[in-house]
Amino acid sequence: MRRALLFMALQLAAACGTSDDDRDVQRPGLQVADVLGNGDTEGYAKALEIRTFEFPADHGAHPDFRNEWWYFTGNLMTATGRRFGYHLTFFRNRLAPPDPTASDGPVSRWRTDSVWMAHFALADVDGGRTFDHERFVRGAGGLAGVTAAPFRVHCEDWHAASDGPEELFPLRLHAEGEVTFDLTLERGRDVVLQGERGLSRKSATPGNASYYYSIPRMLGRGAVTIDGERLEVSGSGWFDREWSTSALDAGQVGWDWFALQLDGDDPADPLRAVDLMWYRMRRSDGTADPASKGLLVDESGTSAALDFEDVTLTELRHWTSPESGARYPVAWRLVIPSRELDLTVEAALDDQELDLSFRYWEGAVDVSGVRNGNAVTGHGYLEMTGYVDSR
C-alpha cells in the first residue's frame, strides 16, 4: 500500500512554510483514519483502471491526483559492521482540485496549489536510538517540487536527484538534521508494477486505489555523519512510488507494510535474490481487509502478485511506546505456503516510533526462516500506522 497516505496531515498542520522538527505541529492522538476516512475527492483524478506506465515521465508529477509520494528505505552498514536503517520520503498534496475555468493570466510566483512534506529518519541500530525529522514546504518559489527528466524531487535542500537527463541512476539522496545522510543508489532491479499491472486497489470501493510501482532492490554507497563523525556505509535500498486520490474505507484504520530483501546465495551477485512486499490493510477490529496484497520477486527478477489468501500473517511479539502508549507488533510470522516460504520478521530495534505530525512506526527489520526447505536470512523495512489511540 503506501503507508505514505498519512501525509494528508499537511492540511491539518497549517504548514505553508518550513517546519523542520517543529513539534508544535504535533496532534496527539490524531489517527490516519481521521484524515483519510472522509475527505472530499470530487474534481480529482482517480485510479479506476489499468493504465500504461511511461518512463521517465511517471517518475515526475501527476498533478490531477490529490496525493503523491516518493519513498526510499533501506539498510546500511559500515565496514566494521555498525548498522543503520533509513527512510527518506517526499509527499505532494494538492490543496484543491484542478479548476478548468481558471484564468491563464499572470500569477504570483508564490501562488501554489500544492503543499509538500518530507520525512527523514535514521535508525542507529547498534546505538539503540533513532533520529526523525519533518519539513513542510510550499510548492512555489522553487522551495519544493519534482522534475521527471532529469529526475529531481526536493523539499529545500533535502533531495533525491539523478545525474543524467533521462536515466534515473545513479540516484543521489541527501537529508540532514541532527545527523547528515548522503547516499548514491546504483541501478538494481528493474521497475515492478504492484497490484494489477500497477493498479493497487485498497478496498472494494471503486477509485479507492493508487497507481503503484517499485524498484525493490538497489545497491547504495555513501556516508552518515553522526555525533560529528563521518561514517562510510553501504547496503541496499527500496524505492516505492505511488499517486492516488483515495481515502481509507469505512472500518479501515491503518496498515502494516513489509518490504523484505532476502539474502542471496552468491555474494558476488547481490541482485540474484528474493524480494517481497506485503501490506495488510487493517480494520478497526484488528482483522485484515481482503484488499491486503503483495508481490514476490524471485532470483531471476520474475514477479508474482500475492493475493489475500496467499499469505498468513501472525503477530508474535509487541512493544508499547512509553511516549504514545501505542502497542505495536514488532515480531511477526509471515507464511506463503505456495512458495514454501516461512519467515520470522523482527524489529532490529523495538523503538522506531516516529514523533512527527502523525505518530507511526517505521524502521529496520531482520528476517529469518525457511524457503524451499533451506534456511534463509535477510533484512528490510516495516511501517505500521493507525495504532495510536484517539483521545
* DSSP sequence for 223-264: EEEETTEEEEEEEEEEEEEEEE---PPTTEEEEEEEEEEEPP
Q: Grid coordinates representing 225?
A: 555523519
- Say how far apart CA 380 and CA 261 lie, in whole Å: 6
Cα(315)–Cα(328) distance, integer angstroms: 9
Q: What is the rounded CA–CA span in Å between residue 181 and residue 159?
A: 11
Residue-level pLDDT, tens digit, the chain, 391 residues = 444 444 444 444 433 344 444 433 334 444 555 444 446 788 999 999 999 999 999 999 999 999 999 999 999 999 999 999 999 999 999 988 887 776 665 566 777 889 999 999 999 999 999 999 999 999 888 999 999 999 999 999 999 999 878 789 999 999 999 999 999 999 999 999 999 999 999 998 888 999 999 999 999 999 999 999 999 999 999 999 999 998 778 889 999 999 999 999 888 888 899 999 999 999 999 899 999 999 999 999 999 999 999 999 999 999 999 999 999 999 999 999 999 999 999 999 999 999 888 889 999 999 999 999 999 999 999 999 999 864 3
CATH of 3-97+112-384, one of 1.20.58.410, 3.40.50.1980, 2.40.370.10, 3.30.200.100: 2.40.370.10
Q: How many CB atoms lie within 10 A of CB 200?
A: 23
**Per-residue model confidence (pLDDT) at position 28:** 43
Q: Which three cell numbers stand for residue 242?
A: 505511488
DSSP-derived 3-state class of residue 327: strand
Sign, Cα dihedral of 35, 37, 38, 43: positive
| Residue 258 φ/ψ, nearest 5 degrees | -115, 130
Among all chains, which residue has been given the C-alpha cell 548498522? Answer: 83
Lookup: cell for 126: 547498534
Tell me, what's the pLDDT at 231? 98
Say what the pLDDT of residue 39 is: 64
pLDDT at residue 18, as a whole number? 44
